[in-house]
Amino acid sequence: MARRSASILVEFTGSGRESWSRSLGSSSSSRDSIFTKRALECVLARNPAPLQDFSAHRDFSGENIAFLTRVAEWKSSLPHAVWDSRISDYGDLTDVIREHFHRALCIYKTFISDRAQFPINISSQERKELENVFEGPAGLLFGDGRPANPAVPFDSPGYGPTPSASPIASIKAESGSRFADNGQVQYWGEIPQKFNTTVFDRAEESIKDLVLTNTWPKFIRSCGIAAEVALLAES
């Protein structure tokens, strides 16, 4: 039974039993640790696909996991040299920063702005802070596109994916290749001084808390992961 449990966790996290234990702590606390933010972050970093699938098809909150994974990808792609820099200190990295600002702008447009196809639920203060950074450039680059109907966000008119596309495919298409990587539209204006590598941090933590409270426990129970971890702790 313990061997079966380990195999399920390997599939779930994309890692082995020892790696999982190191990530969450001692086996005696694993039963409780599986419901913590640390466990959620472990899965988001290693293998978010099952959680993305669950959130889109069964919890109807696919935009949250999509936002978290997009922000994580954006952060991981930033050159190390820019993490402790200010816009005015970038110097020769200006072109690189412009590219990353454009990608951040696409994240803002897809998940946060009034034009968002898949709006996430963050506080008005967090939204205002991001608007102060991105709204001007977003208006110049994307115009005043019609936002999706929040009741049926995957049925917005003029939307890229085919009618048969899944919610996950729709989110990936909208938040990824359509705006960020297709090379057709690029922002060449001034980069706001308020833009930095931590610009999404508050919204990211807010959405993580939302996922941790609502989606994560449902996902764990639906997969039987809590029972599997308990078996590992007892083995």
pLDDT, tens only, 186-228: 788 888 988 988 999 999 999 999 999 999 999 988 887 655 5
Which residue from 171, 212, 195 is spatially nearest to 67, judged by alpha carbons? Answer: 171
Task: Please tell me the distance from the alpha carbon of residue 82 to that of residue 132, in angstroms, as a whole number.
Answer: 21
Structure tokens at 25: 């702590």
Q: What is the pLDDT of residues 34-90, one digit of tens each?
A: 888 998 999 999 999 999 999 999 999 999 999 999 999 999 987 765 655 555 555
Where exactly are the structural domains of the chain?
Answer: 2-234
Task: Please tell me the distance from the alpha carbon of residue 113 to that of residue 135, in angstroms, as a whole number.
Answer: 7
Task: Please tell me the distance from the alpha carbon of residue 154 to that of residue 181, in angstroms, as a whole number.
Answer: 21
Report the predicted TM-score, pTM, of the whole model to 2 decimal places: 0.71
- Read off the amino acid at residue 147: P
Residues 6+ apart with CB under 8 A from 191: 87, 97, 98, 101
The per-residue DSSP string of 73-113 comes to HHHHHS-GGGTT--GGG-GGGHHHHHHHHHHHHHHHHHHTS
